[in-house]
Chain A
Amino acid sequence: MIHSLPRPARIPALILGIMIGSVLFLPLLFPSSYALPGAETYAPPCLAHLCGTDLNGRDLLLRILEGGRISLLVGICGAAISLIIGTAYGLIAGSARSSVDNSMMRFVDILYSVPRLIFILIFINAFNERLQLAANSHGWDWLVGSSRLVILILSLGIIEWLTMARIVRGQTLTLRERSYVAAARVLGEGYWTILRRHLLPNLAGIILVYLTLAIPSVIIDEAFLSFLGLGVQAPQSSWGSLLSEGAASINPLKGDWWLILFPSIALLITLLALYSLGDALRRSISAKGR
Chain B
Amino acid sequence: MLRRFASLPVVLLCVVTITFFLIRLSPGGPFDSERKLPPAIEKQLLVKYKLDGPILQQYSGYLKDLIHGDLRLSTKYRNRSVNEILAQTLPVTLTLGALALLIAILAGVWLGAFAAARPGSFAEGSALALTLLAISLPSFVLGPLLILIFAIKLAWLPVGGWGTPLQLILPAVTLAIPYAAVIARLLHDSLRETLSEDFVRTARAKGLSERAVVYRHALRVAILPVISYLGPLAANLLTGSIVVETIFHIPGAGGFFVNSILNRDGFLLGGVVIVYCVLLVIFNLLVDLSYRLLDRRIRES
Using a CB–CB cutoff of 8 Å, the interface residues on chain A facing chain B are 110, 112-119, 121-123, 125-127, 129-130, 133, 216, 220, 223-224, 227-230, 240, 243-244, 246-247, 250-252, 255, 257, 260-261, 264, 267-268, 271-272, 275-276, 279
Contact = CB atoms under 8 A, between A and B. Distances in A.
Interface stretch (B65-73, B105-113, B148-156, B165-173): B148-156
Nearest to A264: B141
Given A117-B239, A228-B242, A250-B147, A255 B153 contact: yes
Contacts of A228: 242-243, 246, 258
A93 to B, nearest CB: 17
B22 A260 contact: no
B140 A240 contact: yes
Contacts of B281: 113
Contacts of B243: 224, 227-228
Most buried by B among A110, A129, A246, A255: A110
Contact of A268 (B7, B137, B261): B137
Interface residues of B, number: 50
B232 interface: yes
A255 B25 CA distance: 43
B45 interface: no
A233 to B, nearest CB: 12
B69 to A, nearest CB: 21
Nearest to B236: A115
B22 A123 contact: yes
Contacts of B221: none
Given A122-B22, A247-B247, A115 B258 contact: no
22 contacts: A112-B235, A113-B284, A119-B18, A121-B261, A126-B22, A129-B26, A130-B26, A220-B138, A224-B138, A224-B239, A230-B262, A247-B140, A250-B148, A251-B159, A252-B151, A252-B152, A260-B148, A271-B136, A272-B132, A272-B133, A276-B132, A279-B132
A91 B269 CA distance: 36
Contacts of A279: 132
Contacts of A126: 22-23, 25-26
Contacts of A133: 27
B262 to A, nearest CB: 8
B144 interface: yes
B145 A118 contact: no
A215 to B, nearest CB: 12
A266 B148 CA distance: 17
A95 B243 CA distance: 40
Given A112-B232, A126-B26, A268 B280 contact: no
Given A122-B273, A228-B242, A257-B148, A247 B143 contact: yes
Interface string B18-31: 11001101111000
Nearest to A117: B239
Given A129-B28, A247-B144, A267-B141, A110 B261 contact: no
A25 B159 CA distance: 38
Contacts of A122: 19, 22-23, 261, 269, 273
A255 B150 CA distance: 12
Contacts of A276: 132
What 7 A-B pairs have minimum CB-CB distances, sorted nearest first? Answer: A126-B26, A271-B136, A113-B231, A227-B140, A247-B144, A272-B136, A260-B144
B212 interface: no
B144 A114 contact: no
A230 B261 contact: yes
Contacts of B138: 220, 223-224, 267, 271
Contacts of A264: 141, 144-145
Nearest to B234: A113
Interface in B121-163: 132-133, 135-138, 140-141, 143-145, 147-148, 151-153, 155, 159
